[in-house]
Amino acid sequence: MSIFSRGIAAGAALLACGWATIAIAQSGPEYFNGKTVNYIIATEPGGGYDTYGRLVCEFMQKHLPGSTFVVRNMPGAGNLLGANYIAASKPDGLTIGSFNTGLVYSQLSGNEGVRFDLTKMSWIGKAASDPRVVVVAADANIKDFKALQDLDKKLKFSTSGTGSASEVNTTILVSALKLPIDVISGYSGNDDQLAIMRGEVQGVISSRSSFEPFVKDGHGKFLAQIGGSDTDVPQLATLVDNEEAQKAIALVESQSDISRLTVGPEGIPGDILKTLRDAYSAAISDPEFIAKANTLGLPLDPAVGDEVADLVKKALDQSPEMVEFLKHALKKD
């Protein structure tokens, strides 16, 4: 090799070493200094997912000095639009976000619109465990869950968009428990509460945190709860003895453990992902974050990183029989 060639090789090696040094230097919080992180929320503005997401963004930005977090609402196709966008993004840590846990059902049932594998995405954290509740209008004159089961006419229950956790939870429970309910989808944000108050629908199956103020204000009544440790409302699992119904309830309960998640696309480098997880952990444990969440009535039961990934894998680990039941329950006439 000529002296000239050796010089080029040595220069290239030094250049590569220099870039490696820069990459190492920027592998921690410094990497985000001066950068913009796009936080995708796969729902309309307003409602629980949007509120949690914006709060998380505010405090992750605080704990990543020099970064700028920009919220982008990207609703559509039952959260698939936003989730697919996150999954297809460059895995550089600069696009993360949140979507409805109903996409666990979409993946289980083989929804052709799914362009991701939830078990392979870069899990950052989740803010809450939020039990589901069966809610009816205060003026529906239904005193308990048995009275609902025994109705001789159907009620209308609202859900969010097609494929959302709200719609899927309601559909599989109505199917498994053979409830006298017509499922009406398309109510985003707080539209479901307004619809109940207008008498347009008579009930909903949703997260407890979303409907706690609604019930406290006298507009609705809790008939049953799925998951959580509250003792003021009977657990739905104790009110039914059908094995198929019990399995459906257990599947819905698995969703309540991974509420209000934050995730990035598959393949975010380990050092960048660790920085995001550290910032998330610092954000949700920040006393100001906790105080704001309490003021907004947002329950907190946080988890970070692999703990969340394990919960997602557990939710997706269903028997072939349950997967077939899910597909049947979600089949459109």
Residue 12: predicted pLDDT: 41
Pick the closest to residue 162 from 152, 150, 171, 153 (CA basis).
171
Question: Angle at Cα 96 formed by Cα 90 and Cα 100, nearest 5°?
Answer: 125
What are 147-163's pLDDT values in tens digits?
A: 999 999 999 999 987 76
pLDDT score of 7: 46
C-beta of residue 223 within 8 angstroms of C-beta of residue 142: yes
> How do strand 259-264 and strand 68-73 relate by DSSP bridges?
unpaired
Strands in the chain per DSSP E: 36-41, 68-73, 95-98, 122-128, 132-137, 155-158, 181-184, 203-207, 220-226, 259-264, 303-304
Report the C-alpha gap between 216 and 259 in whole angstroms: 22
More confident residue, 100 or 225: 225
The pairs formed by 294-299 with CB atoms below 8 angstroms and a separation of 24 or more are 296/51, 296/55, 297/209, 297/212, 297/213, 298/48, 298/51, 298/52, 298/55, 298/127, 298/128, 298/209, 299/128, 299/129, 299/130, 299/208, 299/209
Name the pLDDT band for 101 (thresholds 50, 70, 90): confident
Q: What angle do CA 213, 82, 71 make, to 5 degrees?
A: 65
Q: What pLDDT score does 4 carry?
A: 41
pLDDT in tens, 218-264: 999 999 999 887 889 999 999 998 888 898 898 888 877 788 999 99
The Cα–Cα gap between 198 and 192 comes to 10
CA distances 211 to 62, 153, 181, 214, Å, are: 30, 25, 19, 5
Does the pTM exceed 0.85? no
Confidence class for position 332, pLDDT limits 50, 70, 90:
low
Q: Which are the contacts of 151, defined by CB distance < 8 A and separation ≥ 6?
A: 142, 180
pLDDT beyond 80 at 308: yes
* Size of the chain, expressed as the number of residues it contains: 333
Residue range 132-255 forms a domain whose CATH class is alpha beta
Provide mean pLDDT across the span 268-292.
Answer: 98
Q: Where in the chain is the domain with CATH 3.40.190.150?
A: 33-129+258-321
> Does residue 145 register a pLDDT over 60?
yes
User: pLDDT tens, 2-54?
Assistant: 444 444 444 444 433 443 344 444 668 999 999 999 999 999 898 888 999 99
Higher per-residue pLDDT: 262 or 315: 262
| Structure confidence at residue 333 (pLDDT) | 53
Q: Which residue in this structure is represented by tokens 């309490």?
A: 294
Give 179's contacts (C-beta < 8 A, 6+ positions apart): 148, 149, 173
Which strands make up the sheet holding 303-304, listed edge to edge? 68-73, 36-41, 95-98, 259-264, 122-128, 303-304
For the chain, residues classed under CATH 3.40.190.10 are: 132-255
Q: Roughly what angle, to the nearest 10 degrees, separates helices 287-295 and 270-284? A: 60
Task: Measure the CA–CA gap between 40 and 124, rounded to whole angstroms.
Answer: 14
Task: Write down the architecture of domain 33-129+258-321 according to CATH.
Answer: 3-Layer(aba) Sandwich (3.40)
Q: Measuring CA to CA, which residue among 194, 214, 224, 213 is closest to residue 138?
A: 214
Q: Which two tokens stand for residue 322?
A: 């349950």
Q: What confidence score (pLDDT) does residue 26 get?
A: 61
